[in-house]
Amino acid sequence: MIEVLTKATVFIAIIVMGYLLKRKGFFKASDFRIISKIVLNITLPCAVISNFNNLKIDMSLLFLIFIGIICNLVTVGAGYLVELKKSDDEKAFNMINFSGYNIGCFAMPYVQSFLGPIGVVATCLFDAGNSLLCTGGTYSIASAVAKTDGKTTLSSFIKKVFSSIPLNTYIIMLIVSYFNFQIPKPIIMFTDTVGAGNGFLAMLMVGVGLELNLKRSQIGKIVQTLSIRYGISIIMAFIFFIFLPFSLEVRQVLAIIVFAPVSAVSIAFTEKCNGDVGLASAINSSSIIFSIIVMTSMLLIMNV
Domains of the chain, with CATH numbers?
2-302 (1.20.1530.20)
- Position 149 scores a pLDDT of 59
- Position 160 scores a pLDDT of 67
Instruction: Give mean pLDDT, residues 205-216.
Output: 82
Rg of the chain taking only CA atoms, in angstroms:
19
- Position 79 scores a pLDDT of 93
- Position 150 scores a pLDDT of 56
Q: Give the angle subtended at the CA of 260 by the CAs of 258 and 266, to the nearest 5°.
A: 110
pLDDT tens-place string over residues 211-265: 777 788 889 999 999 999 999 999 999 999 999 999 999 999 999 999 999 988 8
Would you put residue 27 in left (φ > 0), alpha (ψ -120 to 50) or beta?
beta
pLDDT tens-place string over residues 143-183: 888 776 555 567 766 776 677 788 888 888 888 888 888 89
The whole-angstrom separation of Cα 292 and Cα 97 is: 18
pLDDT tens-place string over residues 122-145: 999 999 899 888 877 888 888 888
Q: What is the DSSP code string of the chain?
A: -HHHHHHHHHHHHHHHHHHHHHHTTSS-TTHHHHHHHHIIIIIHHHHHHHHHTT-PPPGGGGHHHHHHHHHHHHHHHHHHHHTTTS-HHHHHHHHHHH----IIIIIHHHHHHHTHHHHHHHHHHHHHHHHHIIIIIHHHHHHHHHT-S----HHHHHHHHTT-HHHHHHHHHHHHHHTTPPPPHHHHHHHHHHHTTHHHHHHHHHHHH------HHHHHHHHHHHHHHHHHHHHHHHHHHHH--S-HHHHHHHHHHTTPPPPTHHHHHHHHTT--HHHHHHHHHHHHHHHHHHHHHHHHHHT-
- Position 78 scores a pLDDT of 94
- Position 272 scores a pLDDT of 80
pLDDT tens-place string over residues 283-301: 998 999 999 899 989 888 8
Taking the CB of residue 7, how many other CB atoms lie within 10 A of it? 17
Is the confidence at residue 4, as pLDDT, over 80? no
- Position 102 scores a pLDDT of 92
- Position 132 scores a pLDDT of 84
